[in-house]
Amino acid sequence: MSARDLHGPGAPWGPAEPGSKTNVDFKVVGRAHAKVDGLAKATGAAVYADDIVLSGMLHAKTLRSPHAHARIRRIDASKARALKGVHAVITGDSMPIKYGVIPWTPDENALAVDKVRFIGDPVAAVAAIDEDTANAALKLIDVEYELLHAFLDPRESLVRAEPAIHEGRKEGNVSKSVQLEFGAVDAALSSADVVVEDDYVFHGSTHAPIEPHCAVATYSPEGVLTLWSATQITHYVHRALARVLELPAHRIRVIQPCLGGAFGGKSDPFSLEFCVAKLALLTGRAVKMLWTREEVFYAHRGRHPMQMHYRSGATKDGQLVAVDAKILIDGGSYSSFGLVTTYYSGQLLTGPYHFPTYRFDSTRVFTNKPPCGPKRGHGSVQPRFAFEVQLDQLAEKLALDPIEIRRRNFQGDFTRTVNGQRVTSNGFLQCLDEVERASRWKERRGKLGPARGLGVAGSMYISGTNYPVYPNDMPQSGVQLKVDRSGLVTVFTGGNDIGQGSNSMCAYIVAEELGIPIERIRVVAADTDLCPVDLGAYSSRVTFMVGNATIDACRKLREKLVAAVAQTWQCAPARVRLIEGLVVDLDDTSRSLTSVEAFHLAETKFDTLGATGSYNTPKLGGDYRGGTIGASPAYSFTAHVVDASVDTETGRISVHDVWIAHDCGRALNPMIVAGQMEGSAYMGIAEALYEDHDINRFGLHRGPSLLDYRLPTSLDTPEFRALIVESIDPEGPYGAKEAGEGPLHPSLPALSNAIYDAVGIRLKHLPFTPAKVLAALREKRASPALATQGGTR
Amino acid sequence: MLRLPKFELCTPTTLAHAVALLAESPDALIVAGGTDLVPNMKHELFTPSRVVSLAQVSELRGIRRGADGSLAIGAMTSLAEVAASALVRAQAPALAQACSLVAGPQLRTMGTLGGNVLLDTRCQWYNQTYFWRQALGFCMKKDGEVCHVVKGGKNCVAAASNDSAPALMTLGATLEFASLRGRRAIAIDDFWVADGICNKRVERDEVLVSVHVPKAPEGHRGAYGKLRDRGSIDFPLLGVAVRLDLDAQGAVEHADVVVTALAAQPKRIAKLDAVLHGQRPGSSDFEVAVAEAAALAHRQCKPLPNIPGDAEYRRDMVPVYVKRTLLAAARGEGPVHHV
Write the CATH number for B259.
3.30.390.50
Protein fold of A306-467+622-787: Aldehyde Oxidoreductase; domain 4 (3.30.365)
Q: How far is A693 from chain B (nearest CA, A)?
A: 13
Give A713's contacts in chain B (Cβ within 8 Å).
Answer: 104, 230-233
Query: What pLDDT, on a 0 to 100 scale, did the predictor assign at position A786?
Result: 64
Q: At what angle do helices A595-606 and A542-569 cross, to 10 degrees?
A: 80
Query: What pLDDT, on a 0 to 100 scale, did the predictor assign at position A12?
Result: 57
Nearest to B157 by CA among B307, B37, B301: B307
The neighbouring-strand residues paired with A288 are A59, A216
Domain count, chain B: 2
A698 vs B3, B136, B308: nearest CB: B136
> Under CATH, to which class is A49-148+213-290 assigned?
alpha beta
CATH number, domain with residue B25: 3.30.43.10
> Could you say which DSSP state residue A463 is in?
S
Nearest C-alpha in B relative to A769: B229
Nearest C-alpha in A relative to B233: A707
Nearest to A500 by CA among A740, A759, A250: A740
User: What's the rounded Cα separation, in Å, for the pair A575 and A555?
Assistant: 16
Determine whether the interchain pair B312/A771 forms a contact, defined as Cβ–Cβ distance below 8 Å: yes
Determine whether the interchain pair A119/B6 forms a contact, defined as Cβ–Cβ distance below 8 Å: no
Nearest C-alpha in B relative to A650: B317
User: What's the rounded Cα separation, in Å, for the pair A634 and A739?
Assistant: 12
Nearest to A154 by CA among A201, A197, A198: A201
Determine whether the interchain pair B234/A707 forms a contact, defined as Cβ–Cβ distance below 8 Å: yes
Contact yes or no for B2/A134 (Cβ under 8 A):
no
Residue B312 is assigned to a structural domain of this protein: yes
Cβ neighbour number for residue A581 with a 10 Å cutoff: 15
Those residues of chain B whose CB sits closer than 8 Å to some CB in chain A are 1-3, 6, 104, 124, 128-129, 131-132, 134-136, 227, 229-234, 308, 310, 312-313, 316-317, 320, 338-339
User: What's the rounded Cα separation, in Å, for the pair A205 and A209?
Assistant: 12
Nearest C-alpha in B relative to A65: B135
Predicted ipTM of the assembly: 0.97
**Full 3-state SS string of A219-286:** ECCCCCEEEEECCCCHHHHHHHHHHHHCCCHHHEEEECCECCCCCCCCCCCCHHHHHHHHHHHHHCCC
Residue B267 is assigned to a structural domain of this protein: yes
Percent of chain B surpassing pLDDT 70: 100
Q: At what angle do helices A338-347 and A381-397 cross, to 10 degrees?
A: 20
Q: Is the pLDDT of residue B325 over 50?
A: yes
For residue A202, give the 3-state DSSP assignment: strand
Name the pTM for this structure: 0.97
Determine whether the interchain pair B308/A713 forms a contact, defined as Cβ–Cβ distance below 8 Å: no
Protein fold of A474-615: Aldehyde Oxidoreductase; domain 4 (3.30.365)
Q: Cβ contacts of residue B227 below 8 Å, gap of 6+?
A: A650, B236, B237, B238, B239, B314, B317, B321, B338
Residue B128 is assigned to a structural domain of this protein: no
Determine whether the interchain pair A704/B234 forms a contact, defined as Cβ–Cβ distance below 8 Å: no
Residue B119 is assigned to a structural domain of this protein: no
Question: Which stretches of chain A drop beneath a pLDDT of 70?
Answer: 1-24, 786-793
Nearest C-alpha in A relative to B316: A650
Q: How far is A67 from chain B (nearest CA, A)?
A: 7
Determine whether the interchain pair B1/A292 forms a contact, defined as Cβ–Cβ distance below 8 Å: yes
Determine whether the interchain pair A292/B229 forms a contact, defined as Cβ–Cβ distance below 8 Å: no
Residue B195 is assigned to a structural domain of this protein: no
User: What's the rounded Cα separation, in Å, for the pair A156 and A729?
Assistant: 46
Give B131's contacts in chain A (Cβ within 8 Å).
Answer: 64, 66, 294
CA-CA-CA-CA torsion sign (A340, A345, A347, A349): positive
User: What's the rounded Cα separation, in Å, for the pair A122 and A112?
Assistant: 6
Determine whether the interchain pair B308/A708 forms a contact, defined as Cβ–Cβ distance below 8 Å: yes
Report residue A478 CA to chain centroid gap.
Answer: 20
Contact yes or no for A290/A50 (Cβ under 8 A):
yes
Q: Is the pLDDT of residue B66 over 60?
A: yes
A467-518 pLDDT, tens per residue? 888 999 999 999 999 999 999 999 999 999 999 999 999 999 999 999 999 9
Domain hosting B7: range is 1-53
**Average confidence score pLDDT of chain A:** 95
Q: How far is A465 from chain B (nearest CA, A)?
A: 36
Residue B131 is assigned to a structural domain of this protein: no
User: What's the rounded Cα separation, in Å, for the pair A120 and A723?
Assistant: 42
CATH 3.30.365.10 residue ranges of chain A are 306-467+622-787, 474-615
Determine whether the interchain pair A132/B231 forms a contact, defined as Cβ–Cβ distance below 8 Å: no
B127-158 pLDDT, tens per residue? 999 999 999 999 999 999 999 999 999 999 99
Q: How far is B318 from chain A (nearest CA, A)?
A: 10
Residue B231 is assigned to a structural domain of this protein: yes
For residue A667, give the 3-state DSSP assignment: coil
